[in-house]
Amino acid sequence: MSKLTGKVLIAQGGGPTAVINQSMVGAVLESRKFPEVTRVYGAMYGVRGIVNEDFLDLTQETTHNLEQVALTPSSALLSTRDKPDAAYCAEIFKVCQAHDVRYFFYIGGNDSADTVRIVNQNAESAGYDMRCIHIPKTIDNDLVVNDHTPGYGSAARFVAQAFMGFNLDNRALPGVFIGVVMGRNAGFLTAAASLGKKYPDDGPHCVYVPEHAFSTEQFLGDVKNALDAHGRCVVAVSEGIVDEKKQPVVVGLTGRIEKDAHGNVQLSGTGELGTMLGELVKTRLKVKRVRADTLGYMQRSFLGVVSDVDAHEAREVGEKAAQFAIWHDIDGSITIQRTGNYSVDYRIVSLEEIAAKTKTMAAEHLTAGGNDTTVEFFNYARPLLGSGFPTSHRIRALTVSKILKSGN
């Protein structure tokens, strides 16, 4: 099949990541190499910018500035929480047709893949030749078929470094510390809290993810065990933990229900879950020093903590999107496949395989009790954090004999 001549349109959807601009810049620069590509447009504010025809002409942006943008976290083309229905997707297609867009690249999670799938159907039904590619992105790491997703490695690195610090702080000033991590359905990011553990008594001492039903009694028992063993306890918990009835724990503890445009309970941007769990520990275990922090938006947007492995792969999935679409004339979703320890390759799969599906943690990544991660998880996730990962060191000097209290 001869290559389609026309425009490329690229957009970014959903929550930002530290490396989402790598994917955008990869797709843009690779697309600009093809003479068939007459223009590369970027839609502002994701799909909303498409229906509003809010386009920037990225063909005329300098390569050097694009390379700088690639190093900047958060969606440079801005984003949206809109989740297009059939009518919205038909609008997207109409705009693509009007602008002679022949290659549509959308960077996002499983909802974005679903949008690409429907737009692709619209184009097919209309007999309009347009390649539609979904470029994976999510700190939640919850796309099926993929070994992991761009954005996860850098967010996981941030969470791991944060908990290394929480653990040191908690060791210096003992008590119970609860750190609340992003993750609605999948616990991958919360599990990353344990990736910086080094010494045998390092925290987090217990880890709670949405994959296991959260039990208040198990939680209090786990905290008590850590206190008995170490005189302190660091807890990592997903914002999305649910009880046995699959109800978010934050709803059960606070009674509050605020829903977003997708009909999901708001979990981020509030410290309530941590505060409520902290209150439980204070009142039930009579622990005086209890602190709870919610890691919040820093996990996905912090400037200065990026996994080089993640940045590299994010760049490549963008480049691959352009290559599969323009060289090979294929629709689909770019996926990351692990081929060695540690190496990856990229495959394009049908949009149906990815769209609107959610992957959760493998059973082997969690202990039987569901309250800690396993060495299998460590081996899976550690390479994704990249090089130059910091480590902590302790003093190992000998104890001095007491003089005044020598009887102790």
Q: Considering the complex, what minimum distance in angstroms separates the CB of residue 65 from its own copies? A: 6
Which residues is 178 bridged to in the sheet? 235, 292
Q: With respect to its own copies, which residue has the nearer C-beta, 167 or 371? A: 167
- Please identify, using beta-carbon distances, which residue of 1 and 397 lies nearer to its own copies: 397
Helix axes of 272-285 and 216-230: crossing angle, nearest 10 degrees: 70
Smallest distance from its own copies to CB 166, Å: 6
Q: Count Cα atoms within 13 angstroms, Cβ side, for 285.
A: 28
CB of 232 to its own copies, least distance (A): 11
Nearest distance from C-beta of residue 403 to its own copies, angstroms? 5
DSSP string, 21-55: HHHHHHHHHHHTT-TTEEEEEEETTHHHHHHTT-E
Kindly tell me which of 253 and 330 has the beta carbon lying closer to its own copies. Answer: 253
How far is the C-alpha of 6 from the C-alpha of 35, rounded, in Å?
10
Which of 114, 140, 310, 331 is flagged as catalytic?
140
What distance in Å separates the CA atoms of residue 29 and residue 59, rounded to the nearest whole number? 9
In the complex, the smallest distance separating the C-beta of residue 133 from its own copies, rounded to whole angstroms, is: 20
Inter-residue contact 222 to 371 (CB < 8 Å): yes
Q: Is 140 a catalytic site residue?
A: yes
d(CA 105, CA 119) in angstroms, rounded, equals: 11
Closest CA to 236 of 107, 371, 335: 371
Residue whose CB is less far from its own copies, 94 or 338: 94
CB atoms within 10 A of CB 111: 17
Closer of 340 and 407 to its own copies (Cβ) = 407
Which residues does the annotation mark as catalytic?
A: 140
